[in-house]
Structure 1
């Protein structure tokens, strides 16, 4: 038995001792004195109420009943005045009862309510007389009902809070799963598309043009190494749930890609047979990490779709650095709607992932065939307002 439990039971024993001293030591005191005194002594049961509420209720019933039936003055005159105030001791029982209803199982709560009401009604019926009988019965029932109502409200509020926390946890897990799925899709799809193209080229020219075959194999090797490195960084980041382990430097992580890596992405796409023209407008400046990564992934996925589905040898990427938003546009003159569906492929999630990335940043993404042929992906990502520091003139 732990120290806290010992102290809780010691408090219960002291409570019974105090009630006994109150009843036996002041037999001729008024019933109100006994009732108020036993009610105040119930504060010693706080430890038991928190840890063992049902035994605490039993002690409260025993002490409150002793405060009513114990005084020898019950044989004296003016019984009504003597016992009218002693029933105040049952307020301690009602407080414990409310705690039980709020925290214990419903079956235990029902048993506790039934026992408490039965004991109170029997004692009140045996020691109250005349008009005081009706008044004390009504007051006792109302006090019990009030404590049970407060307990039920507290239980419902706690259960509602638990349900909300569970829902928040589930939503957070779902959001994290979607984020990981998007990151892995954008990371792997582009590389696998390039590898597939290069492998096809190498297999066709391996006998007639060995130099080009070696170049295709070199591109496959470089792309595979880069993809494996990215996957390793992602898996290490997922495994480092402990911030101390992440800060210990056991597995340092490379920074996430951004628009500064567009040229490397363009070179990899060119190796796959698609020449990319990059245009920039506006004042180029550092962007928040989430916007920078999302813009890069949108361009990456759009180029992947061009390589895999457009059937063209060129496309254009336009980056617009506005005052309030970053605009990203990827257009090609390929097969258009025949080469890519709403999801970027017949069974893929490319455009869905791009839309999710833009939506998480309160941006907008549109994707569809161009009127003059080809396909167009356009995203607008809001930028935070620049922080300005006021300088006082001297």
Structure 2
């Protein structure tokens, strides 16, 4: 194997270390925010910018653990607003809590952005829990920087409207993304259905009429073979001629379906599982490490199982290269007694919207045609997993 691509590959943080850093940053956010405002004698105007920038510490964890991250944001926001209100009240004794409202509304804005992101990426129940929790904390904090019943009510109404706007924006983004995914899935299904219908029409036009003629001539020959041998020979001649013409038409149709080059160049042999090593070598030359683990006793399998298994491995690795954002993946090929199991996993970002495209649809279709099982989706611990189980007939064990 070549060492040069690995030697030039940039170093990346291991996934476990990245998760640990994300948690550390999110936990440090409320502490650093409190300290930043505490050390400011008058945290107003441009001095509010540095504490606001600290919100970026929560972003890496917000994607994987939205509710715990939102809890840390709310804790920092409430503590900071409370401290700022009590601190600035001494500086502005005749103005209620003075400029503390700036900090309160700014922290509410950060919270609303987090709620909007959760509404755009998480389930509706999770988004509703996030919105209700955020509104409760904001209402609890508004009484410390808004004095008087009128100011309190107007502050609560404003905060509720801003939070509702953020939540609805995120919800509409999610609905639009779900609609786009549905349209893509429907397009894939329609493409598969159209191809099946086209092949069915070709087969019907080529076979149905010929098989009808063959059946009629075979019945005629059977009835007259004793009394009129000549007629029986004529029936057999028609059967021979019709079957030859039908076979020639089927060969032409299959050749058209399999043809990859306009000039009808000879086709290469269909790939099999033994070609996975060569596929892996090609992928690794492009900078992605593929660890292949062979389990069970390797043996020849039916041609359709070999081809489908190879294509599933090929497409799964291709999705990692194109969409996962990682430089390594794992492939497990397990020869079991009555089935072949395939699993492709990675610790990357996942295919996202691209993962619902024709690649996964094609893999699922290959497994279904062999009466197998196929699953694909994000892993709870991060990354993406593709798994297929293809039945193997008893004659190939």
TM-score (norm 1): 0.53
Structure 1 residues 122-137: aligned runs within 5 Å: 122-130=140-148, 132-137=151-156
Q: Structure 1 residues 226 and 17 mapped into 2: Cα distance closer, same or farther (>3 Å)?
A: farther
Structure 1 residues 98-137: aligned runs within 5 Å: 98-130=116-148, 132-137=151-156
Structure 1 residues 1-394: aligned runs within 5 Å: 2-26=16-40, 28-32=41-45, 35-71=48-84, 73-78=87-92, 79-87=96-104, 88-130=106-148, 132-203=151-222, 205-207=224-226, 210=229, 213-224=232-243, 227=246, 248-250=268-270
Q: Structure 1 residues 103 and 139 mapped into 2: Cα distance closer, same or farther (>3 Å)?
A: same
**CA distance, structure 1, for counterparts of residue 267 and residue 163 of structure 2:** 56
Question: 1:177 Cα deviation (Å)?
Answer: 2.9
**CA distance, structure 2, for counterparts of residue 199 and residue 93 of structure 1:** 81
**CA distance, structure 2, for counterparts of residue 232 and residue 54 of structure 1:** 60
Does the Cα contact within 8 Å between 2:139 and 2:156 map onto a contact in 1? yes
Q: Structure 1 residues 89 and 51 mapped into 2: Cα distance closer, same or farther (>3 Å)?
A: same
Between 183-192 and 172-181, report the one with greater CA deviation.
172-181
Could you list the per-position Cα deviations for residues 339-370 of structure 1 after superposition, in whole angstroms to 9, with x for gaps in the alignment?
xxxxxxxxxxxxxxxxxxxxxxxxxxxxxxxx
Secondary structure at 2:98 match in 1 = helix
Q: Structure 1 residues 2 and 232 mapped into 2: Cα distance closer, same or farther (>3 Å)?
A: farther
Question: 1:144 Cα deviation (Å)?
Answer: 0.6
Q: Structure 1 residues 35 and 237 mapped into 2: Cα distance closer, same or farther (>3 Å)?
A: farther
Q: How many residues align?
A: 246
Could you list the per-position Cα deviations for residues 252-308 of structure 1 after superposition, in whole angstroms to 9, with x for gaps in the alignment?
xxxxxxxxxxxxxxxxxxxxxxxxxxxxxxxxxxxxxxxxxxxxxxxxxxxxxxxxx
Q: Structure 1 residues 16 and 94 mapped into 2: Cα distance closer, same or farther (>3 Å)?
A: same
**CA distance, structure 2, for counterparts of residue 126 and residue 144 of structure 1:** 19
Root-mean-square deviation (CA), in Å?
3.4
Q: Structure 1 residues 129 and 239 mapped into 2: Cα distance closer, same or farther (>3 Å)?
A: farther
Secondary structure at 2:108 match in 1 = helix
Does the Cα contact within 8 Å between 1:32 and 1:83 map onto a contact in 2? no
Question: 1:226 Cα deviation (Å)?
Answer: 5.4
Secondary structure at 2:147 match in 1 = coil
**CA distance, structure 2, for counterparts of residue 237 and residue 123 of structure 1:** 72
Could you list the per-position Cα deviations for residues 89-142 of structure 1 after superposition, in whole angstroms to 9, with x for gaps in the alignment?
121100011112222222222221111111100111133224653443333122
Does the Cα contact within 8 Å between 1:9 and 1:48 map onto a contact in 2? yes
Name which one, 1 or 2, has greater alpha-carbon Rg.
1
Could you list the per-position Cα deviations for residues 158-198 of structure 1 after superposition, in whole angstroms to 9, with x for gaps in the alignment?
22223322332332233233223212211211221221243
Question: 1:84 Cα deviation (Å)?
Answer: 1.8
**CA distance, structure 2, for counterparts of residue 232 and residue 73 of structure 1:** 87
Unaligned runs of 5+ in 1: 241-245, 252-394
Secondary structure at 1:20 match in 2 = helix
Unaligned runs of 5+ in 2: 1-14, 260-265, 272-397
Q: Structure 1 residues 233 and 23 mapped into 2: Cα distance closer, same or farther (>3 Å)?
A: farther
**CA distance, structure 1, for counterparts of residue 91 and residue 186 of structure 2:** 64
